[in-house]
Amino acid sequence: MEKLKNLDKIVMLCKNRGIIFPGSEIYGGMGNTWDYGPVGVELKNNIKRAWWKRFVQESPTTYGVDAAILMNSRVWDASGHTASFSDPKMDCKNCKTRHRADNLISAHSKGKENPDAMSNEEMEAYIQAHHVCCPNCGKCDWTPIRQFNLMFETSRGVTDGDTNKIYLRPETAQGEFVNFLNIQRSMRAKVPFGIAQVGKAFRNEITPGNFIFRTIEFEQMEHQQFCKEGDDHKFYEEYKQKAFNFLLDLGIKKENLRFKDHDKLAHYAKAACDIQYNYPIGWDELNGIHNRSNYDLSRHQEYSGKSMEYTDPYTNEKYIPNVVEYSIGADRLTLVVLCDAYDEETLENGETRVVMHFHPAIAPFKVAILPLQKNLSEKAKEVYSSLSKDFMCDYDEAGSIGKRYRRQDEIGTPFCVTIDFDTLENDTVTIRYRDTMKQERIAIEKLAEFIKEKIKF
Ligand code: GAP
């Protein structure tokens, strides 16, 4: 209960401090959509940048791509999404609301039952036997389960109809698979190598979103490792570890993370697991790692008619590479970062300080420039304009210095720089640390180097 209260507090803080707002709010909102404000967009961009740095910039054998969101609809036939990217849905005959059968069972059994391991018939039987009722109206009168495809459809060109039907991509991964040959040839890449992408994906989710945990429009950060069969297990283990270490390095507490193997594997998959996080709503998925055999490239070969074979330059052996996929939602990770960083401290004077302990590398603002009084603003703006060439800086001259510090604590700014009358005399400032609230004096000319050192990732 206490933890759920924290999620409400985080949602409020996000709204009040320009981190995340409800989508289309002045029109009454739109379910499962959220807008990132001036502070939140910095946080999410920094998270995406940290991921790209770790998985593309620092990997000599990974290539980045930014593929189109709208793809030839045959892509989704090949990937299996048109046929089976669906959730088991039931309608309440009384109030006409639609629900996911697996979620109804999880909620009713308080997570003790595992609907992922059940067939539709078994789920229907469970719901009937345990009188699982509609969370909206309380009646137990359900339609049979139907599979509901999660892809958003749209149409291309002037005439409507099935031939013009296209989809908003439900995952970024296919943009990596369809560019396998382009990237291999243009970059003279040798298997094993990786292709990574960060971009939007869309799913027609009807389940309540729990803030940005589940949204209908979200960003994914995905990495496909192409390798020879036999090496796939090694890469699967390697990416499990890399994915976990990335989270630890971002400052996520180890006790809030765990691996969870999938109970049901797709017929082509050799292994699959999630890293779960202990959210205020309980343990749930943060990211997935998947050993997918050569299913993806084989299917694209079959549907496109283009050979996806790779020829080993040393042995001349020809084969369709296997894929180990690592996929994490940028918004899901932003939620994890927010939950993990949120803290309420009781100060010596009895007041409560809300503070976001973000890793400095992903903090929205690295430094806030605060003139002690308004008549020091000229000097403060000088400092701001010099530091803002290197870092996102905030500038605030309104209100008491104590309140300004609190505001920066709430958006996780790791350093506050106060300009006072001594600054005019000797070009030094006070730097205040967010986490310890300690303060020390530092020369203005040393500030940039000092901050650069502290925000390394
Ligand atoms: N290509 C594999 C794939 O898309 P997934 O488990 O469906 O796998 C990967 O999605 C990640 O994307 C999830 O672990 C989660 O972090 C994020 N994600 C999926 N659906 C989401 C949604 N509706 N809202 C926010 N993030 C989502």
pLDDT tens digits, 8-37 = 999 999 999 999 999 999 999 999 999 999
**Which atom of ligand 1 has the smallest separation from the CA of 172?**
1
For the domain that residue 46 is a member of, what is the CATH number?
3.30.930.10
- Domain assignment present for 159: no
Output the CA torsion 300→305→310→316 (10° steps).
150
CA distances from 400 to 265, 417, 431 (A): 58, 14, 17
| Residue 217 in contact with ligand 1 by CB distance below 6 A | no
- Domain assignment present for 154: no
Q: CB of 272 within 8 A of CB of 290? A: yes
369 and 279 in a common domain: no
* Residue 180 in tokens: 């396998």
204 and 134 in a common domain: no
- What pLDDT, on the 0 to 100 scale, is given for residue 152? 97
* Residue 168 in tokens: 């908003």
Into how many domains does the chain fold?
Answer: 3
Query: Higher pLDDT residue, 159 or 266?
Result: 266
**Which atom of ligand 1 has the smallest separation from the CA of 290?**
2
Q: Band the pLDDT of 114: cuts 50, 70, 90.
A: confident
| Residue 287 in contact with ligand 1 by CB distance below 6 A | yes
26 and 94 in a common domain: no
On the question of pLDDT at 375 being above 60, the answer is: yes
* Residue 353 in tokens: 């300080």
209 and 127 in a common domain: no
Q: CB of 295 within 8 A of CB of 173? A: no
| Residue 171 in contact with ligand 1 by CB distance below 6 A | yes
131 and 64 in a common domain: no
26-77 pLDDT, tens digit each: 999 999 999 999 999 999 999 999 999 999 999 999 999 999 999 999 999 9
Query: Higher pLDDT residue, 341 or 117?
Result: 341
Mean pLDDT of 201-222: 93
CA of residue 328 to ligand 1 center, whole Å: 6
- What pLDDT, on the 0 to 100 scale, is given for residue 159? 64
Helix (H), strand (E) at residue 195: strand 193-202
Helix (H), strand (E) at residue 287: strand 282-291
**Domain housing 290:** 2-71+170-339
- Domain assignment present for 261: yes
User: Is residue 387 classed exposed, middle or buried when 0-12, 13-18 and 19+ CB atoms within 10 A define those classes?
Assistant: buried
Q: CB of 147 within 8 A of CB of 89? A: yes
245 and 136 in a common domain: no
| Residue 275 in contact with ligand 1 by CB distance below 6 A | no
114 and 15 in a common domain: no
Q: Which of 81, 177, 291, 327 to mutate to test the pocket of ligand 1 (most atoms within 8 A of CB)?
A: 327
CA of residue 40 to ligand 1 center, whole Å: 20
Nearest to 223 by CA among 176, 287, 262, 293: 176
58 and 91 in a common domain: no
113 and 210 in a common domain: no
Percent of the chain past pLDDT 70, that is, above it, reads: 98
On the question of pLDDT at 162 being above 80, the answer is: no
333 and 236 in a common domain: yes
Q: Which of 321, 339, 357 is the endpoint of a domain?
A: 339
Mean pLDDT of 440-446: 97
- Domain assignment present for 35: yes
- What pLDDT, on the 0 to 100 scale, is given for residue 161? 61
274 and 214 in a common domain: yes
* Residue 402 in tokens: 């104590």
233 and 283 in a common domain: yes
181 Cβ contact partners less than 8 Å away, ≥ 6 residues apart: 306, 308
Q: CB of 324 within 8 A of CB of 236? A: yes
357: amino acid identity, one letter: H
Nearest CA to ligand 1 atom 16: 329
